Structure 1
Amino acid sequence: MTRPAVDDGERARAGSELAAVSRALYERGWMPGTAGNLSVRLPGGAALITASGRDKGDMTAADMVVVRADTGQEAAPGPLRASAETTIHSAIYRTTDAGAVVHVHSPYATAVACRTGHRTRLTSLRIERLELLKGLGLADPARTEVPVFPNWPEVPRIAADVADHLAATPHAPPALLITDHGITTWGHDLAQARNRLECLESICRLLLLTGSVPPAQGKEG
């Protein structure tokens, strides 16, 4: 398989941007410890993603791994391993025109994912009327349904679910939740993906404050 060629200057620029956003999200408590992962699509079929096992508050441009955008396969052997959830990023790149993907464990979205998700089947979070929906770039900013995926132990299985869902619903919102896990958003660049993350995290906070999220139900069956 041909490895994507990556310009060193482009890699350094993208790596610095990823590191800066990672540190900012860590400071907000959304990427505690080594949790969470960020990536950007690069020219030539590649993507740059945060390395596995690195403290998100201390990341630098050197803490990134080049992978194939469509498969998540690492472009070349090296001392760092790509994030364990790289296949979810590649599922999004493969089925959308996203230029960047953000996955974090922000508290309100994670709490909503715990309440609305199911261990073995896809569910959804219906959101209506809230002004912040306009920040998601929806065709209809009055309402949307954010998918909530089962948190399978095998990450490629989650990625396959995500790819199937996005391929079948091309007008789905640029966001998803994973049961008991966290939130993922994407956009044409890292700034837009982060803005959408902030909007959806705020929406989840409002839903919890207003009692608009039903109490957690049994997740088996």
Structure 2
Amino acid sequence: MTAHPVDVVSTAPYDAAVGLSATARALYDQGWMPGTSGNVSVRSGADAVLITASGLGKGRLTSTDTVLVRADTGAPVRPGSPKPSAETCIHLAVYRAFPTVGAVVHAHPPYATALASRRSRAGGGAVRFTDLELIKGMGRSYLDSIEIPLFANWREVPRIAAEVDDHFARPATDPAPALLIAHHGATTWGADLAEASDRLECLEALCQLALLIGD
């Protein structure tokens, strides 16, 4: 079946590229995107996603280091574009699952990664937080509990994305705006880059607290 063309005129505003590169540099400065690791994306119209390019140091990222990709396939919209992030398929899985999500951030914050690894070595299962004030930063009341799904770090990234697709296809009352990948890192999302980034900060703090408390 022939894919429908993407409107490249209206789906990649310059300010979105500026926002992506600025967010990536800020996360690099926090130590959560060391070297070339990590990626950030925003939804760009109904049919496309703007994402950071692959293999570039996030501390040096500029607005030209982004790629507009098709939301259905992850293929670059424009010929000759840089290679998109290797984890593009995970971002697309989130956008498919949550039509109101406008931005996704994937990074390697140390406490979140450590807690995900510890949980994986203990047999896996979602990471659950209760009674902590910062749960509010994930869009919940601090009186609530929140569960962050944990996925295996398969060498084949599309396999991770497929498991993310399967997980969020299951009925859930109010799924958390985040996921963890064992021995790898964390992914958060929100209405925009600011919300997605704030949720990453809150998730990292929750994971640090869990490790300090011994949960």
Q: TM-score range by the shorter chain?
A: over 0.9
**Counterpart residue number, 1:59:** 61
Q: Label 1:103 to 1:169 Cα distance change in 2 as closer, same or farther (>3 A).
A: farther
Q: CA deviation at 1:70?
A: 3.3
Residue 214 (structure 2) pairs with residue 211 (structure 1): yes
User: 1:181 pairs with 184, 188, 193, which one?
Assistant: 184
The aligned counterpart of 1:219 is: none
Does the Cα contact within 8 Å between 2:11 and 2:45 map onto a contact in 1?
Answer: no
How many Å apart are 1:118 and its aligned residue? 5.5
TM-score normalized by the length of structure 2: 0.92
Q: 1: CA distance between counterparts of 2:30 and 2:77?
A: 32
Determine the structure 1 residue equivalent to 2:175.
172
The percent identity for this pair of structures is 52
Mark the CA change 1:29 to 1:144 in structure 2 (over 3 Å): closer, same or farther: same
Q: In the TM superposition, what are the counterparts of 1:124-139 in structure 2 within 5 Å? A: 124-138=126-140
Question: Structure 1 residues 79 and 7, CA, compared in 2 at 3 Å: closer, same or farther?
Answer: closer
**What residue is the counterpart of 2:5 in the other structure?**
3
> TM-score, normalization: structure 1?
0.90
Q: 1:149 to 1:4 in 2, by over 3 A?
A: same
* Greater mean alpha carbon deviation, residues 162-171 or residues 101-110: 162-171
Does structure 2 conserve the Cα–Cα contact (< 8 Å) formed by 1:72 and 1:89?
no
CA deviation after TM superposition for structure 1 residue 122, in Å: 5.9
Q: Distance in 2 between matches of 1:30 and 1:54?
A: 15
Is 1:99 aligned to 2:97, yes or no?
A: no
Alignment correspondent of 1:80: 82
Mapped to 2, the partners of 1:89 and 1:118 lie a distance apart of 25
Q: What is the CA deviation profile of residues 14-40 of structure 1, one whole-angstrom value per residue up to 9, with x for unaligned ones? A: 000000111111001000000000000
Per the alignment, do residues 190 and 106 of structure 1 end up closer, same or farther by CA in structure 2, a change over 3 Å counting?
same
Q: Residues of 2 paired with 1:174 and 1:124: CA distance?
A: 13
Residue of structure 2 equivalent to 1:157: 159
Per the TM alignment, residue 137 of structure 1 is displaced from its structure 2 partner at its CA by 1.1
3-state SS in 2 of match to 1:33: coil
Q: Output the CA distance in 2 between the equivalents of 1:164 and 1:173.
A: 15
How many Å apart are 1:6 and its aligned residue?
A: 2.8
Q: What is the CA distance between 1:11 and its match in structure 2?
A: 2.6
Q: Secondary structure at the match of 2:126?
A: strand
Gap runs ≥5 in structure 2: none
**C-alpha distance in structure 2 between counterparts of 1:66 and 1:122, whole Å:** 35
Residues 5-84 of structure 1: matches in 2 within 5 Å? 5-7=7-9, 10-84=12-86
- Distance verdict in 2 for CA 1:65–1:118, change over 3 Å: farther
The answer on whether the counterparts of 2:133 and 2:142 sit within 8 Å (CA) in structure 1 is no
Contact 2:108–2:186 (8 Å) recurs in 1? yes
Q: Is the 2:135–2:141 Cα contact (8 Å) retained in structure 1?
A: no
Q: What amino acid sits opposite 2:4 in the alignment? A: T
- What is the alpha-carbon distance in structure 2 between the residues aligned to residue 92 and residue 68 of structure 1? 14
Cα 1:46–1:118 change in 2 (3 A) is farther
The answer on whether the counterparts of 1:3 and 1:68 sit within 8 Å (CA) in structure 2 is no
Q: CA RMSD for the aligned pairs?
A: 1.9
Which stretch shifts more, 3-12 or 149-158? Answer: 3-12
The C-alpha deviation readout for 1:104-131, integer Å capped at 9, x for no partner, is: 0011101111101269x86210110101
Partner Cα distance (2:68, 2:11) in 1: 13
User: After superposition, what is the alpha-carbon deviation per residue over 1:53-73, rounded to whole angstroms, capped at 9, x for unaligned?
Assistant: 011001111000001123322
Amino acid at match of 2:182: T
